Amino acid sequence: MIKRILSYLKTDLYRLLTSSNLWLSILGIQVLLFIISYSEFQYTVSVFYIIGAIFYGLPSVLFYIFCALPYACSFCEDIEFRFQYLMVSRGSIREYIFSKIITIVLSSCFVMVISIMLYISTLSFFIPWIDKGMGGDLTNIEFFKFGFLVENGQHIFFYFLYSMEKGLMKGILSLLAAFFSICLPNKLLTLSIPVMGAYFIYTLGVALGNNNPMMNLHYIFSFNYKIFSSDILSFLYSAGISFACYIMISIAIFIKVRRRYYD
């Protein structure tokens, strides 16, 4: 079974890495990051300040589309060209779906991590990592997950963890988009699902977790808020919530694909 899953993964990862959508997504996020942050360069700012301003702003929801673009439409494309029948004949439908799910999540995380790391590395040549002045970036740094890394000058590691957590959430929405692509195989609709899903998550978080941050996905995946006093526990909690969501959506995908394949 493991050998067949690895075989499917090899095919899916090759398809991902050779797809222009993957590299266009990274380029698109780079362009969007610089457009969003352009006005901030009028002031004396830092990398830390600009990243916070970007992800606090409304335009950042467009990142969800770019993270879904590389592989969330793979089920939709397989259905369109009836490619799933060929793939399933090589192994089993379970392994075929499992490989797709892993690749969708990995592609979302990869796009987010590479995009942010490229962006902050470029910015660091022109502006300082942090503003150490009175009322600067270190004022409330103890409330940030792994804020001690910023204090100790370990900025690359901090932003790697930051982008990983963002990528985990993008993975949830990309999987959700993949599920809807099976129900209604339309690429335009599929790529609009992450934005609608992000709005739903925010609204649901306000409704359910207004007085309980542990139920609010907006707080859970926010790096400037710690659910627990421990940075590691707060990060693991967001990762655990991500995997729980992956499992639930994966079950729904499996049921839907199985019905579609055998109908």
pTM (predicted TM-score):
0.90
Residues near 99 by Cβ (< 8 Å), separated by ≥ 6? 5, 8, 9, 11, 12
Q: What pLDDT was estimated at residue 97?
A: 87
Provide the residue type at 231 as one letter: D
- Give the H/E segment covering residue 111: helix 93-123
* Structural domain boundaries enclosing 114: 2-262
Q: What pLDDT was estimated at residue 41?
A: 61
**77's tokens:** 């494309």
State CA 206 to chain mean position distance.
21
d(CA 86, CA 78): 10
Q: What pLDDT was estimated at residue 175?
A: 93
Q: What pLDDT was estimated at residue 43?
A: 62
Number of domains the chain is built from? 1
d(CA 7, CA 29): 31
113 contacts 167 by C-beta, under 8 angstroms: yes
For the chain, state the CA radius of gyration: 19
Q: Which residue stretches of the chain have pLDDT < 50? A: none
CA distances from 211 to 76, 96, 214, 215, 217 (A): 39, 41, 9, 9, 13
Q: What pLDDT was estimated at residue 107?
A: 95
Q: What pLDDT was estimated at residue 200?
A: 79
Cβ atoms within 10 Å, residue 92: 14
108 contacts 172 by C-beta, under 8 angstroms: no
- Give the H/E segment covering residue 194: helix 187-209
